[in-house]
């Protein structure tokens, strides 16, 4: 029998209540949060799709491992479990734990980059870009041209433009490019995967010029599953074999274990370079902690050790990718503009196409995200002009799905709310900023709604 119903490959042992609010309450709550969903108390959110980062549910095996956490300051058994699990998949010589992904980024770029350097990436995530720029280097995004058009369907829209990489190296010289990064999957580009063929081509260019290749590996398991589904020659391989093959193409990685590490906190930095590793560990000691815990508790290391392996289980990945696709396809069928095809961890609404009457300097992405909250208590995030300023190539609203947290009926509810906002879209209007921080302003910016709907541009 061909089964069409998506069922979660787990039973629920512990439940966490979520709270209904009225539309009037939400209007008031949003005003009090200065129209920035980051400033909203989580308790006032019904379905929280702000991020898939650190919001997943841990398994019974992870909780059992937590109880075995060895909290010794140096040389704990938990570090050995963590390192062995990471190396089993990633194979890099040095595994440096950090409290989350951005700490790995800060250490990596502090050690490898200086003012005037250039770091190419398919698309930098916001913290990655900020950490590159913080050391005075330039973060350059070179996704394939298809990635720039949200409506175009491409099986590996996360791919890097290899010709653009060659051009960048020819133009600026190898000396100004201390490393190349490949983000799998490409979060800011729509949660789109990178093919093995593309990773091989990028790796070949890097090796030809003697430039190290690092993966931003946050969603490596989802990327591996897309390769299994879509790339010729990989159907018979396990997601783990595919991930292992991909990491052999690089020299190291940064990782936020809050994604495909299936943990609520944690990350790591890997490298094959002994000299760099020594410098990185020195910096780690300065701000994160001793190299066998790096700002994490032993129990966190245990949870990650188990989580990394669970993220690669095929039953889990099938359910995850199918469920995200179900959400995307259902709204797209009704005309809602989304980044096509549906991503692995998230669906991205194209706010510019959704709200064509809202000028770009009035933050259509923020306007749409706020409306989803008012309509149904759903929290999402803008990835656009508020996040990236004038560098924004698009205005998206990301609905990131926490791992193993929401059921299919929650997903059906989200579809219902989006379609309702779609019907009323002409009534949504823009906003302006009233205060902002110099870096990563989207986290704390305060905004206010513009009273009237602007004339179409």
Ligand X SMILES: Cc1ncc(COP(=O)(O)O)c(C=O)c1O
Our CB check for ligand X shows the closer of 216 and 350 to be 216
Separation of alpha carbons 141 and 125, rounded Å: 10
Minimum distance from residue 237 beta carbon to ligand X (Å): 24
Give whichever of 158 and 376 is closer to ligand X, judged by the CB atom. 158
DSSP state of 54: S
Residue 143 is classified by DSSP as B
Nearer to ligand X, 127 or 192 (CB): 127
Nearest to ligand X of 157, 258 (CB atom): 258
Cβ-proximal residue to ligand X, closest one: 101
Residue 195 or 362: the one with the smaller Cβ distance to ligand X is: 195
Provide the 10 A C-beta neighbour count for residue 173: 11
CB atoms within 10 A of CB 455: 7
CA atoms of 238 and 305, how far apart (whole Å): 19
Nearest approach in angstroms of CB 182 to ligand X is 11
Q: How far apart are CA 261 and CA 310, in angstroms?
A: 8
Query: Least distance to ligand X from the beta carbon of 100, Å?
Result: 3
Cis status of the peptide bond prior to 185, with omega within 30 of 0: yes
CA distance 434 to 445: 8
CB of 360 to ligand X, least distance (A): 24
Comparing CB distances to ligand X, the nearer of 29 and 257 is 257
Q: How far is the CB of 167 from ligand X (least distance, A)?
A: 24
For ligand X, give the closer residue by CB, 38 or 413: 38
Q: How far is the CB of 278 from ligand X (least distance, A)?
A: 24
Q: By C-alpha distance, which of 417, 402, 238 is closest to 320?
A: 402
**What does the binding site for ligand X look like in residue numbers (CB under 6 A)?**
53, 100-102, 125, 127-128, 183, 187, 216, 218, 256, 258, 267
Shortest CB 309 distance to ligand X, Å: 19
Nearest to 52 by CA among 327, 363, 392, 249: 327
Name which of 93, 177, 103 is nearest 142 in CA terms: 177
What is d(CA 250, CA 311) in angstroms, rounded to the nearest whole number?
Answer: 21
Tell me the C-alpha distance between 229 and 220, whole Å. Answer: 14
Which value, to the nearest 10 degrees, does the dihedral of the CA atoms of residues 98, 157, 331, 404 take? -30
Please tell me the distance from the alpha carbon of residue 116 to that of residue 322, in angstroms, as a whole number: 43
Closest to ligand X by CB, 300 vs 371, is 300
Q: Measured from the CB of residue 191, what is the shortest distance to ligand X in angstroms?
A: 9
Report the 10 Å Cβ neighbour count for 361. 12
């Amino acid at each position: 029998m061909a089964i069409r119903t998506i069922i979660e490959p787990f039973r629920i042992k512990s439940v966490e209540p979520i709270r209904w609010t009225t539309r009037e309450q939400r209007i008031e709550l949003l005003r009090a949060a200065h129209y920035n969903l980051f400033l909203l108390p989580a308790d006032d959110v019904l379905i929280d799709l702000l991020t898939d980062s650190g919001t997943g549910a841990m398994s019974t095996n992870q909780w059992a491992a937590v109880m075995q956490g060895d909290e010794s300051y140096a040389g704990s058994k938990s570090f050995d479990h963590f390192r062995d699990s990471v190396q089993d998949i990633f194979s890099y010589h040095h595994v440096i734990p950090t409290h989350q992904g951005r700490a790995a980024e800060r250490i990596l770029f502090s050690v490898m980059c200086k003012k005037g350097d250039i770091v190419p990436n398919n698309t930098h995530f916001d913290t990655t870009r900020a950490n590159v720029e913080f050391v005075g280097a330039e973060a350059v995004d070179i996704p394939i041209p298809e990635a720039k058009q949200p409506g175009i369907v491409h099986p590996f829209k996360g791919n890097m433009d290899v010709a653009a990489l060659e051009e960048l190296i020819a133009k600026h010289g190898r000396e100004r490019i201390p490393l190349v990064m490949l983000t799998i999957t490409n979060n800011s580009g729509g949660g789109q995967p990178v093919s093995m063929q593309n990773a091989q081509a990028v790796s070949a260019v890097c090796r030809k010029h003697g430039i190290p290749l690092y993966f931003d590996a946050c969603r490596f398991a989802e990327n591996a599953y897309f390769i299994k589904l879509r790339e010729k020659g990989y159907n018979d391989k396990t997601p783990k074999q595919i991930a292992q093959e991909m990491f052999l193409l690089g020299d190291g990685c940064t990782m936020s274990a809050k994604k495909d590490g299936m943990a609520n906190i944690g990350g790591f930095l890997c490298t094959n370079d002994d000299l760099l590793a020594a410098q990185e560990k020195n910096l780690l000691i300065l701000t994160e902690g001793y190299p066998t815990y790096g700002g994490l508790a032993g129990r966190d290391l245990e949870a990650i050790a188990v989580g990394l392996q669970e993220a690669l289980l095929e039953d889990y990945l099938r359910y995850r990718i199918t469920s995200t696709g179900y959400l995307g396809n259902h709204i797209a069928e009704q005309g809602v503009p989304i980044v096509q095809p549906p991503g692995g961890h998230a669906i991205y609404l194209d706010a510019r196409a959704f709200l064509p009457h809202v000028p770009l300097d009035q933050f259509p992405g923020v306007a749409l995200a706020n409306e989803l909250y008012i309509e149904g208590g759903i929290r999402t995030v803008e990835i656009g002009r508020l996040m990236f300023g004038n560098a924004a190539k698009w205005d998206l609203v990301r609905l990131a799905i926490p791992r193993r947290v929401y059921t299919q009926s929650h997903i059906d509810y989200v579809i219902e709310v989006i379609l309702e906002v779609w019907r009323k879209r002409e009534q949504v209007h823009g906003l302006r900023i009233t205060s902002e921080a110099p870096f990563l302003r989207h986290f704390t910016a305060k905004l206010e709604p513009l009273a009237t709907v602007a004339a179409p541009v």
